[in-house]
Amino acid sequence: DQQVKQNSPSLSVQEGRISILNCDYTNSMFDYFLWYKKYPAEGPTFLISISSIKDKNEDGRFTVFLNKSAKHLSLHIVPSQPGDSAVYFCAADTGTASKLTFGTGTRLQVTL
Amino acid sequence: GAGVSQSPRYKVAKRGQDVALRCDPISGHVSLFWYQQALGQGPEFLTYFQNEAQLDKSGLPSDRFFAERPEGSVSTLKIQRTQQEDSAVYLCASSPPTSGMAFFGQGTRLTVV
């Protein structure tokens, strides 16, 4: 039972363009969402988060959008840079801060 | 160090061997988590501590898996009688009180041969 889904295993984007990574969830109890970035042989690194009381959170080149009615969130990276090439994981929490449920990840490749 | 530290980074175990994986969380972080990440998958929750109390161990796949955090700081994940299906990266994370934001270590890659 995959409660957090990232249906695109990979994405290729040209440098300078926008990268859009998508995530869907099924558990309506989730109320806090996070994006993590992972380079090979490293642990996931926190990128940006959003609480369910908001529909948008922005931090520099990174913006996360949340559509609660559709149980969908997306991460926008603009402009994309080669250093953004990594695997991105969407994660969700029920607000208890006791565990995260992760998606399977999307591998982003930013080409020159 | 400032981040979550895990050791060893890599471990090769023969099937049936016991292993112990160590995690040093960020100082002052009350919450500590263990996750298992299989190849091509996202991290999956194993267990959660708040200080020394193990509040949730629902993700531990079998009774061969055991975790402890006796003094509320360093934690050890022990796997007894390892099996090939235990091969994965084991990630430890810690977070400040009441925060859902977890900070991860680099993980321990366990290979059971």
CA distance B67 to B23: 11
Give me the sign of the Cα torsion angle A92, A94, A98, A101: negative
* pLDDT > 90 fraction of chain B, expressed in percent and rounded: 90
A53 interface with B at CB cutoff 8 Å = no
Residue of B nearest to A34 (CA): B101
| Average of per-residue pLDDT across A55-68 | 98
Closest residue, chain B, to A35 (C-alpha): B101
Report which residue type is found at B87: S
Selecting from A6, A42, A98 the residue whose C-beta is nearest the C-beta of B106 gives: A42
What is the pLDDT averaged over residues B24-30?
A: 94
Amino acid in the structure at residue A54: K
Specify the pLDDT at position B13. Answer: 98
- Count other Cβ atoms within 10 Å, centred on residue B47: 23
**B54 touching chain A per CB within 8 A:** no
Is B104–A104 a contact, with Cβ atoms under 8 angstroms apart?
A: no
**Given this model, what pLDDT does residue B1 score?**
54
Side-by-side strand order, sheet with A62-67: A4-5, A19-25, A72-77, A62-67, A56-59
Q: Provide mean pLDDT across the span B22-36.
A: 95
pLDDT surpassing 90 at residue A96: no
Q: What is the mean pLDDT of residues B6-31?
A: 96
Inter-chain residue contact B100 with A89, CB threshold 8 Å: no
The whole-angstrom distance between residue A74's C-alpha and the CA centroid of its chain comes to: 6
